[in-house]
A and B are shown apart, each in its own frame.
Chain A
């Protein structure tokens, strides 16, 4: 009974309520790098204006477990005019790179299928960070551990949905059983295709063994900053093992041959002696 989320970007308004709800429920502060001290001011002042459409938080981080992207697609005459929004977070992959990379089993999968970092076990080795193909997991200098979306582990184990889904005013983020959500997504995709949105696609059925948090995109995944073909390290395990075995065989063979040659040369030398 895997729980997950379906993010229908076609009805996302980019309001960022999910970002705020996430921080509120999870007790996350403002991202420290977004604020600076100003003389004669009683509190730090935000200075993180980016000029990148309405996106000022830029990326996921140890204190930003959700991030809404804004993609402006306009040609010069504005005859093509699209403003796409997409709320990004941890995808809770079925084949989770972070989980497999963790040497101390701090990252676990719960009975509800969500991938969860146990803060009291994490040793801060950061092996999980390059293991995530989506750039989701981040290290906090403050805690010395890594952080990411928990799929609201506490909420979902107490009969509630995720905070972001609860706050989403348009129903763009929905929480539920992955199998049910997939049915909903398929119906929505079929409808959009019928309306002529040829580029609409579902992202997350095949990727990384299937994503518990998956998306309906109106354009290619790369437009939304997502890898077209995400690869988690363990997917390379079999080929790399095969390569290792094959190389070992080759090396062994080479060694044997070389030993044999050396032996023969030795013999030759011996003979000469």
Chain B
């Protein structure tokens, strides 16, 4: 099932594989989407839903599944769900559900803007006696703070079990409700639900694939959680052919999440030191972050954290100075893209680097963002072409409409030419965490340089500038460990001789012993005493020995291809794959065999003692479990990490070892996903009194007006998206004549019904309007767009791809002039997939192009 994704359009190369599954193995492909797209065209079933109603649709599948005869009679589902999910865990009896409180959960703050998650917690047994008396190390500190085991009811009968809560939570999510709210015919919904159910079990697995069609919502995180819960209930996680596949937005987005271009995360998913939390010292940081997770593999958090700080400052990072922790930057709030531009508008941000980014086109409420750029002192743009961002001061719509005057803009803009991917060496990390090395094919032209070159030489120059500084706050720059000088053979064939060594960067990310600089083969050998460094623990093993780069491996096979590249962690392609075997360790079926427990296999432990029993992997897949842990093993109550986890706790990164159908913590807007309308919606919420996500991030500031619920001025739903022919804001495509001519101009997809109502003719110009701005587009009148009947009323949707701007060979208005700053509360992703607008025939007024 592909949902929240137009995979054929936006991931055309990866789409090869679902198609191959269809043509070679008879897989059924389903597409759930408001529009009939290139993806729908290749799928067996297309179920149309109104944009932003995904949780209701998925929640209704959950309701359908757990009340179905098959799910209740096939013992597979019960064995999987009782043992591998948290269905049997008992939740605090003070918990109140959205069914009790008409759309909100217990723990809501007085202002209605945040939750306390106290009542969402598990009921637990008594705290165990600590395994250690004194605390010499961070690990000892964690060992003294192990909580009691969560209480369970394996019969799933107790009303406080997660399962009973889930059952009640989704009881009103029926096929009839789907038809009424999502506008999807009941029969189509049932076809999808039944297909998923019948294609899951011992012998079969189903996969769910999504992309930014799910993330870009004020309930984005919760939509994805609903899918994960459904897959856990169907026994589709950790098994071949199952899972929830997140298609990433563009090349190596996965890599830049892993190596943390995100403001709140250090490389390897360690939380960023945060001025708002108890992160005063390294000890506080470790305790705050690791105690709640210590009974998972995150019990090794101190080793990951110290190795990271050691990688930053090398010899200068010592036990005495907390490995430089005090010198590390801390965040003080939400510094993600939208709030950053709000702060920029307020004049709080002085300088800005735009590297591989074009916010003048791609930013939500783009006019707001372009005006914010004018408040900067300086801006550096590194790109291949003169992007709209780099010339906002010269010819943006705001300049042409005289809202801004070039002479008044004080921002000093530096435009630096960038190399493209074939002109640099490095790695890509793709959707399924696969790290692949790529070669440099040629030198970039003229002064163009790689991002790595720019960052490294900028760092070198800064270090030089601060060499003699006596200020303590310059310590982090002065002591930054910064050695990526190329080896002669790395640059030998090229004109540019000072291109830094991509190998050395990856080696640091991988980690090595500080003393003798030997690469580490696995993160299991990381230490918390400063003897090891690792830039990002999850990548450890990609360079297991000097000169050996597994990211360059190119041994493919017909299936998992463990010899192709390197999938973090530890070359595990299917995470949590302990679930591919049953509770006794046997494969669920021959067809779906992946790893299994061989009780007779013998190995030696480090002391030479023989251990009987081993998890084996006939296809070379990395085992996402302790290989010597028997299925029947019972974890130590006072242990941490692998010691605490039992033989039937496959989800080793969760502190209870289970897949979460209910999130006791970690998600700010509720332990279970509930249907909320998009922030701007043409209809009241027909499921709860609570209209939209109460925790949605909003900015009630000048230049960012919102539409009312069912606003008569803006009755039409609009989605923004991409087409195959262009890439994101068009920097890599609109300048190329070959691509420009394939999709030359901005267009708006509109149904014949709405076009007829508004007098809009195919290929003519039409205008789309929101309170933020108006744009013109060529009309593409097509039955691939359809009106939805919601609660008896017709709701129209239009769709616009957002690639165009006023520069380059393919021009068009900036679609994001229409969108608004509003975001998901967990990750601050904008709601670009659904908001409201109005349309009319003809060109808009005002300045042209942009």
Contact = CB atoms under 8 A, between A and B. Distances in A.
B724 interface: yes
Nearest to B740: A46
A24 interface: yes
Interface string B1-44: 00000001100110110011001000000000000101011100
Contact of B763 (A20, A49, A78): A49
B414 interface: no
Contact of A13 (B8, B20, B810): B8
A103 interface: no
A85 B12 CA distance: 14
B36 A24 contact: no
Contacts of B20: 171
A171 B16 contact: yes
A37 B117 CA distance: 61
Interface of A: 10-11, 13-17, 19-20, 23-24, 29-31, 34-35, 43-51, 53-54, 56-57, 72, 74-76, 78, 81-85, 169-171, 188, 191
Interface stretch (B86-94, B781-789, B814-822): B781-789
Contact of A46 (B48, B781, B782, B810): B810
Interface string B764-788: 0000000000000011111110100
Given A16-B725, A49-B763, A56-B744, A35 B739 contact: no
Contacts of A57: 741-742
A74 B8 contact: no
A34 B742 CA distance: 9
Given A13-B42, A30-B737, A74 B783 contact: yes
Contacts of B745: 46-47, 49
Nearest to B8: A13
B41 A30 contact: no
Contacts of B741: 30-31, 34-35, 46, 48, 56-57
A16 B724 contact: yes
B15 A13 contact: yes
Q: Say which size band chain B's interface belongs to.
A: 35 or more
Contacts of B9: 13, 15
A72 B19 contact: no
Contacts of B23: 10-11, 188, 191
B738 A51 contact: no
16 contacts: A13-B19, A13-B724, A15-B9, A30-B737, A34-B744, A35-B740, A47-B744, A47-B745, A48-B741, A48-B744, A49-B747, A54-B723, A56-B743, A72-B782, A72-B784, A81-B784
B42 A46 contact: no
Contacts of B42: 11, 13
A20 B739 CA distance: 7
- Interface-centre pick from B15, B763, B781, B809 (highest chain A CB count, 10 A): B809
B738 A82 contact: no
Interface in B162-218: none
A45 B742 contact: no
Interface in B724-749: 724-725, 737-745, 747
A35 B737 contact: yes
Interface string B43-70: 0001010000000000000000000000
A50 B763 CA distance: 6
A2 B20 CA distance: 27
B813 interface: no
Given A46-B744, A74-B784, A169 B15 contact: yes
B763 A35 contact: no
Contact of A43 (B739, B786, B809): B809
A223 B723 CA distance: 24
Contacts of B38: 13-15, 54, 83, 85
A51 B762 contact: yes
A82 B19 CA distance: 17
Interface of B: 8-9, 12-13, 15-16, 19-20, 23, 36, 38, 40-42, 46, 48, 723-725, 737-745, 747, 762-763, 778-784, 786, 809-811
Nearest to B17: A170
B118 to A, nearest CB: 49
Nearest to A172: B19
B744 A170 contact: no
Nearest to B11: A169
A70 B739 CA distance: 17
Given A14-B38, A72-B784, A51 B737 contact: no
Given A13-B42, A56-B744, A83-B40, A29 B16 contact: no
Nearest to B742: A16
A201 B102 CA distance: 56
Given A20-B738, A35-B809, A57-B741, 19 more contacts: A13-B12, A14-B41, A16-B725, A19-B742, A29-B737, A30-B741, A45-B809, A48-B741, A48-B744, A51-B778, A56-B743, A75-B783, A76-B783, A78-B786, A81-B36, A81-B46, A83-B38, A83-B784, A171-B20
Given A56-B744, A82-B41, A45 B810 contact: yes
Top 4 nearest A-B pairs (CB, nearest first) are: A51-B763, A30-B737, A46-B744, A74-B783
B41 A83 contact: yes
A72 B15 contact: no
Nearest to A83: B41
Nearest to B42: A13
Nearest to B812: A49
Contacts of A47: 744-745
A51 B724 CA distance: 17
Contact of B783 (A23, A31, A72): A72
Nearest to A20: B738
A266 B809 CA distance: 82
Nearest to B395: A40
Contacts of B8: 13, 15
B35 to A, nearest CB: 11
Nearest to B739: A20
B809 A44 contact: yes
Contact of A85 (B41, B762, B784, B810): B41
Contacts of A45: 809-811
B16 A169 contact: yes
Contacts of A31: 741
B24 to A, nearest CB: 10
A24 B738 contact: yes
Nearest to B386: A42
A13 B762 contact: no
A57 B743 CA distance: 9
B809 A83 contact: no
Contacts of A78: 36, 48, 783, 786
Given A13-B8, A20-B738, A46-B737, A51 B744 contact: no
B386 to A, nearest CB: 9
B290 to A, nearest CB: 43
A76 B751 CA distance: 11
A75 B15 CA distance: 27
Contacts of B784: 72, 74, 81, 83
A56 B739 CA distance: 11
B13 A169 contact: yes
Given A56-B743, A56-B744, A83 B15 contact: no
Contacts of B16: 169-171
B30 to A, nearest CB: 14
B430 to A, nearest CB: 14
B756 to A, nearest CB: 12
Contacts of B763: 49-51
A48 B40 CA distance: 26
B797 to A, nearest CB: 13
A174 B781 CA distance: 33
B787 to A, nearest CB: 10
B234 to A, nearest CB: 25
A113 to B, nearest CB: 27
A78 B48 CA distance: 11
B740 A30 contact: yes
A138 B796 CA distance: 43
Contacts of B40: 81, 83
A149 B456 CA distance: 47
